[in-house]
Structure 1
């Protein structure tokens, strides 16, 4: 492409840069794990200046949080099947696809990394990112549970769903264990 002709991309340059940075970060986490790369390495892989990352996200932890939240919102839509059992089965299957997909292990490792290692400002930002992720996942589930309660169904607490359905799935992925549909259905059936 010559210097006078620019390619037009849907969403504009900002959206393209955001997508490139998100993908670069996800790849680096998958390859090296959290804490084993720098903002400069994310920028180089994404083909942007590291100052662009600092200007837009402020810190690596803020970028990590945004990547996780965007994946949660994009990959785990809240189902509305008309029953809590149907919703929970569909939701658990969606989460299983998300965490076992191509970037799944990287995203699970990222969620674990954001549990607040480190001290000072960096550790605080990591804890805030972790809290944002937990709060968003809880908010998503609570909306599904509230809908079921409005239909007159008996519902578990959102944190019970986290503890008894999602947590075991994340642990199995971290330890390289298979998530079969039967296993996932069993988790949901037990919480109901």
Structure 2
């Protein structure tokens, strides 16, 4: 899927796919050589072997291109770990999520995604894809729980609000980032303890 300044479209094929792959590869190579703040569209275009106008026409501006690259890096590599219980699955997956997002690389990718959206909205492909990736992982975890016959499950939307949102808010704005200890203490409370009513549950 391409990121433009105004709309999203289907994932390109043929020449469009080759151009996107070349430009993405150029961005990643340049980011390994210099600070992202030093990147320019002409630099990326020269490395990718395309004209600057190709990048402007396809992505709109550099921030949208960086957001597009970052979103692809944030795409999950596979399904969440299957531990046999909802609590175990959420713990295993959310700990990996926290570790990845709190790393230096993860923080840089989040900044790039946010830099391509002012503010994120339903019309912003980068933020929508980030949301869709995470929601899909949570839906996989919940579907496993349903198949096991677990009841009183939260919705994926509620997990986004009560689990993912606090992680990202603390990573972006809190004076101290969230820790694995904080997360491990939070999960059982959300699912079984006094905070249970915070979840929008299905019977």
How far residue 142 of structure 1 moved from its aligned partner, in angstroms, is 0.5
Judge conservation of contact 2:81–2:92 (CA < 8 Å) in 1.
yes
SS in structure 2 at match of 1:78: coil
1:130–1:185 distance in 2 versus 1, CA, 3 Å: same
After superposition, the Cα gap between the structure-2 partners of 1:62 and 1:80, relative to the gap in structure 1 and judged at 3 Å, is farther
Correspondences of 1:8-27 after superposition (within 5 Å): 18-22=24-28, 24=30
Conserved 8 A contact 1:64-1:110: yes
Are 2:142 and 1:136 equivalent residues in the alignment? no
Distance 1:38 1:81, change over 3 A: same
How far 1:140 sits from its partner (Å)? Answer: 1.7
Residues 33-112 of structure 1 correspond to what in structure 2 (within 5 A)? Answer: 38-43=40-45, 47-51=47-51, 54=54, 58-59=58-59, 60=62, 61=64, 64-74=67-77, 77-112=79-114
- TM-superposed CA distance for 1:132, in Å, is 2.0
Deviations 1:18-55 (Å, cap 9, x if unpaired)?
Answer: 44423546998x754xxx964334456xx334538947
1:3 aligned partner: none
Which deviations, in whole Å up to 9, do the C-alpha atoms of 1:107-136 show, x marking residues without a partner? Answer: 222343354449xxxx986x1222122122
Change over 3 Å in CA distance of 1:172–1:149 after alignment to 2: same
Q: 1:169 aligns with which of 167, 170, 177?
A: 167
- The separation in 2 between residues aligned to 1:26 and 1:93, in whole angstroms, is 27
* Residue 146 of structure 2: aligned partner: 149
* Consecutive unaligned residues in structure 1, runs of 5 or more: 1-13
Q: Aligned-pair distance for 1:66?
A: 4.6
RMSD: 3.7
Q: Helix, strand or coil: the match of 1:64?
A: helix
CA shift for structure 1 position 62: 5.7
Segments of 5+ residues of structure 2 without an aligned counterpart are: 1-19, 192-203
The total of aligned residue pairs comes to 169
TM-score after normalising by structure 1: 0.68
